[in-house]
Chain A
């Protein structure tokens, strides 16, 4: 996919900006939002049980580390993925293709998300000693999103 976005007012004097990476971030973040909604529904008792296979998700979700500073982890994930989704959706619009805020939000959000996922994965491996498949899925998403936002770091540097 060779997607480009042209800022309408500046289309005549600047090169097109590739937004393929932002499209990929949007799709990945949307999957993250859906996983977070599913996990939040479980946390708040909307779901009776969770599809997890070996019960690791129940162990992780009912451990003391299922909350971070009092907030359920799936809710934090929902907020983070929603922010990335919104930024990516804006970033593919011609009017926002050259916005300075979009690379900042994408790069910052993806970095924090990756660090947080690494911390949660560490807890699963070495503290809780149980694996939640949905959490692992979310960690992989965070890694992929980070890989997709690498060009945003370059855009941030160029705009300085």
Chain B
């Protein structure tokens, strides 16, 4: 009986040691994961950068579009777009393709794309914009842009950042994946995407897509005939 009491007492103290070890491992492990999440590799930038009013001017100078076509074309066309906006997918999938074939490739329109991440419920749009820029680093911006918008419904509803889908698109384009992945998972291009959005706000952009033809906002953009007429009227005939 005495032995059993001693065994029970030993068991109690051993359980305390055991729980202490479990607690230490749990606390250290969870702390390490939180630390890694906050600082690992600089972290993946998923939202526009924060900036003060004093910094806005300098940031605006960092805005850069991605252009295609003849620099000296009579019609300068720019579009502000968001990768999660369905209307932008419509624009890119139908209007933009016809526009490029008829006017850009014939040297009559110089076409420039600017990111305008809407934010709000469009939670993945900033990473998507950065990923497209990462593909652009390897000269494949437009192909990646087309894939993002063409497969929009396949990734836009993901609860977590659809990094794997973004990476797969890069793989499909035979990008150098080591470089592409480290770019996507970093904060690269966060500044230029943020700057592009600021440029859009400065120009009065309130939604996407917003299109300017020689500086004038295009009112009707969903119908190709209307867009063609506007381009021709601006000198792209």
Partners in one complex: yes
**Which residues in A have some Cβ–Cβ distance to B below 8 Å?**
1-6, 11, 16, 23, 26-27, 30-31, 34, 37-38, 41, 43-51, 55, 58, 62, 92, 94
Give the 3 A-B CB pairs with smallest separation, nearest first.
A49-B41, A45-B161, A34-B29
Q: A77 to chain B: closest CB distance in Å?
A: 14
Report if A46-B37 is in contact (Cβ < 8 Å); known contacts: A1-B17, A26-B22, A27-B22.
yes
The A interface, classified by DSSP as helix, strand, loop or mixed, is: loop
Pick the most buried of B8, B17, B30, B161: most chain A CB atoms within 10 A of its CB: B8
Q: Which of B116-140 contact A (CB under 8 A)?
A: 127
Contact between B164 and A43, CB atoms less than 8 A apart: yes
A6 touching B8 by the CB < 8 A rule?
yes
What's the minimum C-beta distance from B236 to chain A, rounded to whole angstroms? 42
A47 touches B40 (CB 8 A): yes
Contact status A11-B42, CB under 8 Å: no
The answer to whether B160 has its CB under 8 Å from any CB of chain A is: yes
Q: Is B185 a contact partner of A3 (Cβ separation < 8 A)?
A: no
- Residue B88, interface by CB 8 Å: no
Residue ranges of B at the interface with A (Cβ–Cβ < 8 Å): 4, 7-8, 10-11, 14-15, 17-18, 21-22, 25-26, 29-30, 32-33, 36-37, 40-44, 46, 127, 160-164, 167, 171, 177-178, 181-182, 185-187
Q: Is the CB of B40 within 8 A of A30?
A: no
Q: Which residues of A contact B167 (CB under 8 A)?
A: 62
| CB-based contact B164/A49 at 8 Å | no
Nearest B residue to A41 by beta-carbon distance? B37
Given A34-B29, A45-B162, A62-B177, also A1-B14 (CB < 8 A): yes
**Given the complex, which residues of B lie within 8 Å of A3, measured CB to CB?**
10-11, 14-15, 18
The answer for the CA separation of A103 and B40 in the assembled complex, in Å, is 39
The answer to whether A5 touches B178 (Cβ under 8 A) is no
Do A45 and B163 touch (CB < 8 A)? yes
- Beyond A4-B11, A6-B8, is A92–B18 a contact (Cβ under 8 Å)? yes
**Pairs across A and B, CB under 8 Å, 30 listed:** A1-B14, A2-B10, A2-B14, A11-B4, A16-B4, A23-B18, A27-B25, A30-B26, A34-B29, A34-B30, A34-B32, A41-B33, A41-B37, A45-B44, A46-B37, A47-B36, A47-B41, A48-B41, A48-B185, A49-B40, A49-B42, A49-B182, A50-B40, A50-B41, A51-B36, A58-B178, A58-B181, A62-B164, A62-B167, A92-B15
Contact of A49 among B10, B21, B26, B186 (CB under 8 A): B186
Interchain CA distance A58-B182 in the complex, whole Å = 9
A48-B185, A92-B15 as given contacts; A16 in contact with B41, CB under 8 Å: no
In the complex the two chains form, what is the Cα distance from A94 to B162 in whole Å?
46
Complex Cα distance, B7 from A4, in Å, reads: 7
Chain A residues within an 8 Å CB radius of B4: 6, 11, 16
Complex Cα distance A62/B44, Å?
16
Cβ 8 A contact of B181, one of A1, A27, A38, A62: A62
Smallest CB separation, B38 vs chain A (Å) = 10
